[in-house]
């Protein structure tokens, strides 16, 4: 299969409440996860919810990283989508597991883009 990108959907469990509820720590960890994976960071925006939780996105030249946290459950939903050969989305996910002080992660990788032998467009 000739994929344009790799999209890792990660479920990160058993995380530190304090880390997941701190918008600055989540932002810092997400930006550093992108850098750890070899990405070029372009922009980022994060929002702190009341009474708890953080959502945010890091736009990278190679695509994006996104997160939503449930600190009260010790859970973070993370997407890492990268295009090209240079950036490894798994490096970003593993970095976040460490920084969030997580107990474990489950994740799936989806290949995005063109598949050899398939039509480029489908009429629905």
Q: Which residues, including other chains, have CB under 8 Å from residue 87's CB and lie 6 or more apart?
A: 37, 38, 39, 60, 62
Is there a catalytic annotation at residue 68? yes
Count of CB atoms within 10 A of residue 30's CB?
A: 27
The one catalytic residue in 16, 55, 61, 83 is 83
Is there a catalytic annotation at residue 50? no
The one catalytic residue in 7, 63, 64, 93 is 63
Q: How far apart are CA 124 and CA 118, in angstroms?
A: 15
Quickly tell me which residue has 């996104």 as its tokens: 66
3-state secondary structure of 73: helix
ω into 51 cis (within 30 of 0): yes
Is there a catalytic annotation at residue 7? no
The one catalytic residue in 7, 15, 64, 68 is 68
Q: How far apart are CA 91 and CA 33, in angstroms?
A: 7
Active-site annotation, residues: 63, 68, 83
């Amino acid at each position: 299969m000739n994929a344009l990108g790799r999209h890792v959907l990660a479920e990160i469990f058993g995380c530190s409440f304090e880390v997941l509820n701190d918008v600055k720590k989540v932002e810092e960890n997400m930006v550093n996860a992108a850098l750890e994976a070899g990405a070029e960071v372009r922009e980022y925006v994060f929002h702190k919810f009341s009474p708890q939780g953080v959502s945010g996105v890091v736009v990278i030249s190679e695509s994006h990283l996104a997160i939503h946290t449930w600190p009260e459950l010790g859970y973070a939903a993370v997407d890492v989508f990268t295009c090209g050969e240079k950036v490894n989305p798994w490096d970003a996910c593993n970095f976040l597991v460490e920084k969030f002080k997580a107990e474990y992660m489950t994740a799936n990788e989806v290949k995005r883009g063109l598949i050899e032998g398939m039509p480029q467009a489908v009429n629905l």
